[in-house]
Structure 1
Amino acid sequence: MMRRVLLLAGIVGSAAAYPQGPVTANGAKLFDFEKAQLTEDILSKLDDVFQFDNGDDVKLNGRGAGADCKVFPGDSAWPSDAAWAKFGKAVGPGALIKTVPLASPCYNGPLYDAAKCDALTANWTNSFLHMADPTSMMSPVYQGLTCQVTEDPTQSCTLGALPYYAVNISTVAQVQLTINFARNNNIRLVVKNTGHDFSGKSGGAGSLSIWTHNLKNIKHIPSYSAPGTSYTGPAFKAGAGAQAFEMYEAANKKGLVVLGGEGKTVGIMGGYMQGGGHSPLSSLYGIAADQVLSMEVTTADGKFVTADFTQNTDLFWALRGGGGSTFGVVTSLIIKAYPDMQVTASNFSFAVGGDVTLENFWIGVRNYLDYFPSLAAEGIYAYWFILAGETGPTFKMMPFLAPGKTADETNALLAPWLAQLAALNIHVTPVTTNYDNFLTGWEASFPLEVVEKTHVASGSRLWPKENWANKESLDAMFNAIKTSSEAGLIIIAFLIDPSAQATPPDNAVNSAWRNTYSHMIQSVSWPLGASAEFQKETRQNFTFGAMQRWRDVSPGAGSYLAESDILEPNFQQSFYGKAYPRLLKLKKQLDPKDVFFAQTAVGSEFWQVVTADGLPSGNGKLCRVKK
């Protein structure tokens, strides 16, 4: 066995050991890391746990795929230390990482280091810190809050929902090995790129994680013709680890733009694209998933395939909007690119106080909603907040982004609403700045994400265009938003219409995205250190109180699955819309042994995470829902 493992490790660690390998359409060659793939010949020399799934029901020492629960540390069927060591040798030197919580230096023990703890504490909410860690989760509520930075080193630090092991992926062969090992041992498998997800999908207690963060290859394709489509034009092929700032910089160097998130550290070529993805350019070009022309993916059976408009078309359809960690592990994508453009950003705020009465404040906000259809038609993407405060609410525009517009054109678009505000004694002086390219405007306009919110839960709504059909329906929507603010909830919202100037392709993107003028998030908080019972009551009141008010005045609408409430009732309709029946059918076909699982992902209703405190998190054993 040892000789076989060493043979495999040598191949996994060296793409040069492989021939040129296949290419994707139009000569878009595989990246070197994708050329290093497992073959039947290699696997014929290895043990059962490394084999592809060829349709048989593999049962190894009681670890069959039909078991009631995924194997958990401490279970008799959990792989031995020797088995993990063999797996570590198989994936190559240093690739298998046993999880050490990022905050470990703050706790008594061999890793305690007061200076390191102080540095971590000072930087703890910076998303760059957590994205560079193989297992750290940006939503600690769903990790279980078992190892946060602390000034009390006598507290305990445990893994909670952090994966037990992670594999730092540098070749496709490592992805294949990890999927095969997890499937054949019935171990919970998760995927992490950067961990940007409101529901903690990148974690899971007792899991093995595929960490794709370092797959950052980016290649410009000057002219790409996508078979099966009419698209011929510039494109980029990028590894799954490429983030927003990296993609925007690469595009800028070629005089181009691509669709990605407003957040600087979002891993846009991973779960963002697979979950749909809204962008500052969405009101011009649609949802991010609409831009995908081809994908390289390893499926639940361990096989590496290309999915596009002419091959593996069902898989390709599902991966564009059906959610990450569900149908396979994507290692690279080819996406459309567009000519770079000037952008103008305008920032301003107003609040209750002085000459601004509470009544006039809300009249001003209500007037703003009237302009959404006309502004969306101009390609506007507005990022705005309503924050509750002791003296009254504050409205913040951060920013009003006008792609392709001059400063004068942008000010003209804002002028009618600002005139209404002035008539209400709400005098604002926008700071409006024009940038001659998208990258510079984006870098200057959007803040770095604040992460590690330990006592916050959020939910979202894609407000349907029907709410703008008449005054009564828009008033009902406004009143629901106002009621949330008056209850102390934070409102984070976007003016966006992904269908304004784009014909959507046939993909799995939530149909609610095709019929909205606003994606809106509300967040509830509870006191630090609140009991599990208090947290559960707060969460229930939020989901079935505040969120239900929003659902009641937007019947049939939906929610953005990556920025959503983990307790959302009927998440299948809310997060996936009309696509869900087909997605579920494909899930059963493509992943019949449920190798992939994520909270609120397609097919997750057949599984449950059994937590000790009853709170919704990944901190517990993953078991089938009993019929």
Structure 2
Amino acid sequence: MWLFSSLSSSSSSSSPQSSTLFAYERKQLTREYIASLPDEDKQLLAFDNQFGTNEVNKTDKRCRYGPADGKWPSEKAWERLSKQLSTATALIKTTPQASPCYGDTKNDVKCQEMTKNWYDPYSHIDDPTEILSPMYQGLTCQPPSVYNSTTCTLGGYPSYVVGAKAVLDIQLGINFARNNNIRLVVKNTGHDFAGKSIGAGSLSIWTHGLKDIQVFDNYVDDSGYRGPAVKAGAGVQAFELYKAVSDKGYAVVAGEGHTVGVMGGYIQGGGHSPLSSLYGMAADHVLSFEVVTSIGELVTANSSSNSDLFWALRGGGGATFGVVTSVTVKAYKDMQVTAASWSFNSSKLGVDKFWTATKAFIDNANIYADKGIYTYFMMASFDGKDYIFNMAPFFAPNKTANETNAILAPYLTHLTGQNIPFSPKVTEYKGFYGAWQAEFGLEGVSNVQTAIASRLFQRSNFNDDKSRTNTFNVLRQTLESNQSIIAFNLAPTLARGNADNAVNPAWRSTVIHAIAGRGWDIRATPSEILAARKVLTTVTLQKWRDITPNSGSYLNEADRMEPNWQQSFWGDKYAKLLDIKKDRDTKNVFWAVNSVGSEGWVVESVDGLPNENGKLCKVNGTSSTVADEPMLMAF
């Protein structure tokens, strides 16, 4: 059934040869094995066109089949899939976490215990179907105390999940979905701001269990790179990766979030990092991918093999070109880090001094980024009257406390001159992992009544007094309209020695990545929610676009209703990405909202909101192949 040879799950090596495949990657489905199966299994599980075009693909269908359709796979078909998977429990029939709160299975004790931990991301990340932005599931099964729910239905959850423990599980899942005209989705940890990792009536491939890590002291790559590297499975999270490389004396370019699945949508979408002002985007440091394609085959994508995929996977977006099973990235010698934190509150300073202190910091965006700093700060309004600015943290990799204080000294002098007290907490750490672990907080589950949108603010926004003032005034207006802002100050330029890739070119001149959030009443109707979302998209963010005309947005942290998203997420790289998508996925096996090549399809949401609670169908008049020309979709 598969090829197998052993490999330790965590090790250190001086050469790359032993990193060829992890043990779980050596458990592969083969064409020879498929050929040995009964005809009924062949039809369900064959590689694409292994025996000619399957019957299901001979006619053009407007929608993917759903459970209510007559052509949805029978229970016997699902059983046949299950029997071929690597473990007896790999096929999971979806049960929402909040189901103990409802219906025949209602259990008040379990419901209360589950609700108590609902906002802890760890309670969702280890679940096969939950995501951290539950409104994109449709909010059809939330704890009663969270969303005033009275019923529990699947909504936008997938119908079944393949909990992948081996490559063959992923191959079988892809083949089964493609051969049966079922929607396929890919989920890692559920850190998903647009609902890309769920879908009503879908089969989900869950890569969270692929946790192997191997560290190399002297990796030799065909690209010419010679140095430390780490290969990590698709399910490895930031807290696991950072610790593994720290134990060997290294650091890597990965996310600030503790529970983010680094090698999934994060790195495939580009990935900004606390080390970005030193080294660039996370995708810049990829040396190799192992990826299962739409055909069902595992291939290596690097500088010398499948170079088109290699280029596209480094920034082109997750769940688009294949299912990544592991990634090899460059590593760097560990470094000391200093972090500073502080906050301002208008209720204590007064509104005028609050804005003075806030503007003085934002005005220095170019300066801080050029010194290798990465900042993570939040600004919020309380009913449009009082405001808070919270820096947590001002992160200075490869800097001592003295050096960090020297960088902040002009800001301190300016505030002191304005009679504004400023006394940041400054802490020096011996290594990156300890600093990251202490300074970046755990992300909670997103609430059920807030949408986000983002914009990349360019270096030119802070080059002169007029530009700085115009930029600040627009951000101030956002807060004054009772919307929140989370922002990152960084400069992720493409470092020498790192090859061009699909990362949005707007990132290369960015110094602030800002996210706006707009909420609505918990009792709001779908039409009221849509109206609030449109204000965020067409009013708030349009003001941001107006002062950043040649920029874009970060596709991993963006508005699902982003207009002209092709240009916004990829700029002039979209055309090349679309060509690769057409060539590599002719049957649209991989689809996610606002992903490359997604224009010809749309989720027909049951409530009209931008979520995954509806069938995936072709837009009227389009064919079953990837769209030839981009079409601007509402969501």
How high is the TM-score relative to the length of structure 1? 0.94
Query: Structure 2, unaligned stretches of length 5 or more?
Result: 8-14, 622-635
- For the residue of structure 1 that corresponds to 2:96, the secondary structure is coil
1:337 and 2:328 are equivalent in the alignment: no
- For the residue of structure 2 that corresponds to 1:353, the secondary structure is helix
List per-residue Cα deviations over 1:573-623 (Å, max 9, x = no partner).
111122100001111110010000111111111110001211000110000
Give me the whole-angstrom Cα distance separating, in 2, the residues matched to 1:573 and 1:289: 19
Partner residue, 2:170: 175
List per-residue Cα deviations over 1:255-297 (Å, max 9, x = no partner).
1001111100000011111000000001011100011000100
Once the two structures are TM-superposed, the CA of residue 450 in structure 1 deviates from its matched residue by 1.1
Partner residue, 1:68: 62
Partner residue, 1:21: none
Partner residue, 1:165: 160
Partner residue, 2:10: none
Once the two structures are TM-superposed, the CA of residue 357 in structure 1 deviates from its matched residue by 2.7
Give me the whole-angstrom Cα distance separating, in 2, the residues matched to 1:66 and 1:273: 34
Partner residue, 2:227: 233
Give me the whole-angstrom Cα distance separating, in 2, the residues matched to 1:533 and 1:438: 47
Counterparts of residues 269-308 of structure 1 (less than 5 Å): 269-308=263-302
Q: Which amino acid aligns with 1:199?
A: A
| Contact kept in structure 2, 1:283 and 1:501, CA below 8 Å | no
Once the two structures are TM-superposed, the CA of residue 474 in structure 1 deviates from its matched residue by 2.1
Partner residue, 1:39: 30
List per-residue Cα deviations over 1:330-367 (Å, max 9, x = no partner).
0011110000011011110011134x231222122222
1:458 and 2:452 are equivalent in the alignment: yes
| Contact kept in structure 2, 1:200 and 1:617, CA below 8 Å | yes
Partner residue, 1:358: 351
Counterparts of residues 136-215 of structure 1 (less than 5 Å): 136-151=130-145, 155-215=150-210
| Contact kept in structure 2, 1:285 and 1:502, CA below 8 Å | no
Partner residue, 2:115: 121
List per-residue Cα deviations over 1:471-508 (Å, max 9, x = no partner).
22222211111110000111000000011865652110
Give me the whole-angstrom Cα distance separating, in 1, the residues matched to 2:445 and 2:496: 33
Change (3 A) 1:623 1:105: same
- For the residue of structure 2 that corresponds to 1:562, the secondary structure is helix
- For the residue of structure 2 that corresponds to 1:174, the secondary structure is helix
Partner residue, 2:624: none
- For the residue of structure 2 that corresponds to 1:142, the secondary structure is helix
- For the residue of structure 2 that corresponds to 1:179, the secondary structure is helix
Q: Between 383-392 and 80-89, report the one with greater CA deviation.
A: 383-392
List per-residue Cα deviations over 1:200-252 (Å, max 9, x = no partner).
1110000000000010000111111110x231000011100000000000011
| Contact kept in structure 2, 1:491 and 1:523, CA below 8 Å | yes
The number of equivalent residue pairs is 607
Give me the whole-angstrom Cα distance separating, in 2, the residues matched to 1:71 and 1:420: 63
| Contact kept in structure 1, 2:44 and 2:77, CA below 8 Å | no
Give me the whole-angstrom Cα distance separating, in 2, the residues matched to 1:268 and 1:582: 25
Q: Between 422-431 and 509-518, report the one with greater CA deviation.
A: 422-431
Q: Which amino acid aligns with 1:366?
A: K
1:389 and 2:393 are equivalent in the alignment: no
Q: Which amino acid aligns with 2:391?
A: M
Partner residue, 1:100: 95
| Contact kept in structure 1, 2:456 and 2:554, CA below 8 Å | yes
Q: Between 142-151 and 482-491, report the one with greater CA deviation.
A: 142-151
List per-residue Cα deviations over 1:380-435 (Å, max 9, x = no partner).
00000111124411110000000011111111111211222222232121111001
1:346 and 2:337 are equivalent in the alignment: no
Q: Which amino acid aligns with 2:327?
A: L
Change (3 A) 1:419 1:514: same
Q: Which amino acid aligns with 2:501?
A: N
Give me the whole-angstrom Cα distance separating, in 2, the residues matched to 1:154 and 1:588: 42
Query: Structure 1, unaligned stretches of length 5 or more?
Result: 1-7, 18-23
Partner residue, 1:620: 614
Change (3 A) 1:467 1:56: farther
Partner residue, 1:20: none
Q: Which amino acid aligns with 1:381?
A: Y
Q: Which amino acid aligns with 2:161?
A: A
1:379 and 2:367 are equivalent in the alignment: no
Change (3 A) 1:55 1:25: farther
Counterparts of residues 409-448 of structure 1 (less than 5 Å): 409-448=403-442
Once the two structures are TM-superposed, the CA of residue 58 in structure 1 deviates from its matched residue by 2.8
Change (3 A) 1:500 1:264: same
| Contact kept in structure 2, 1:382 and 1:401, CA below 8 Å | yes
Q: Between 383-392 and 589-598, report the one with greater CA deviation.
A: 383-392
Give me the whole-angstrom Cα distance separating, in 2, the residues matched to 1:73 and 1:575: 34
Counterparts of residues 303-322 of structure 1 (less than 5 Å): 303-322=297-316
Q: Which amino acid aligns with 1:397?
A: M
| Aligned pair partner of 1:467 in 455, 461, 469 | 461
Q: Between 478-487 and 382-391, report the one with greater CA deviation.
A: 382-391
List per-residue Cα deviations over 1:516-537 (Å, max 9, x = no partner).
0011100000011210010010
Partner residue, 1:598: 592
| Contact kept in structure 2, 1:64 and 1:186, CA below 8 Å | no
Once the two structures are TM-superposed, the CA of residue 55 in structure 1 deviates from its matched residue by 8.1
Give me the whole-angstrom Cα distance separating, in 2, the residues matched to 1:528 and 1:348: 32
- For the residue of structure 1 that corresponds to 2:219, the secondary structure is strand
Cα RMSD, aligned residues only: 1.8
Q: Which amino acid aligns with 2:98?
A: A
Give me the whole-angstrom Cα distance separating, in 2, the residues matched to 1:258 and 1:271: 17
How high is the TM-score relative to the length of structure 2? 0.93
Q: Between 416-425 and 51-60, report the one with greater CA deviation.
A: 51-60
- For the residue of structure 2 that corresponds to 1:118, the secondary structure is helix
1:485 and 2:479 are equivalent in the alignment: yes
- For the residue of structure 2 that corresponds to 1:565, the secondary structure is coil
- For the residue of structure 1 that corresponds to 2:347, the secondary structure is coil
Q: Which amino acid aligns with 1:33?
A: Y
Q: Between 601-610 and 495-504, report the one with greater CA deviation.
A: 495-504
Once the two structures are TM-superposed, the CA of residue 108 in structure 1 deviates from its matched residue by 2.6
List per-residue Cα deviations over 1:530-581 (Å, max 9, x = no partner).
1001001001111000011100110020111010000000000111122100
Partner residue, 1:3: none
Q: Which amino acid aligns with 2:365?
A: F
Once the two structures are TM-superposed, the CA of residue 59 in structure 1 deviates from its matched residue by 4.1
- For the residue of structure 1 that corresponds to 2:522, the secondary structure is coil
Give me the whole-angstrom Cα distance separating, in 2, the residues matched to 1:560 and 1:138: 18
| Contact kept in structure 1, 2:43 and 2:54, CA below 8 Å | no
Q: Which amino acid aligns with 1:163?
A: P
Give me the whole-angstrom Cα distance separating, in 2, the residues matched to 1:159 and 1:382: 39
- For the residue of structure 2 that corresponds to 1:454, the secondary structure is coil
Give me the whole-angstrom Cα distance separating, in 2, the residues matched to 1:576 and 1:183: 27
> Sequence identity, in percent?
48
Give me the whole-angstrom Cα distance separating, in 1, the residues matched to 2:427 and 2:276: 21
Counterparts of residues 584-595 of structure 1 (less than 5 Å): 584-595=578-589
1:369 and 2:362 are equivalent in the alignment: yes
Q: Which amino acid aligns with 2:213?
A: I
Change (3 A) 1:402 1:65: farther
Q: Which amino acid aligns with 1:497?
A: A
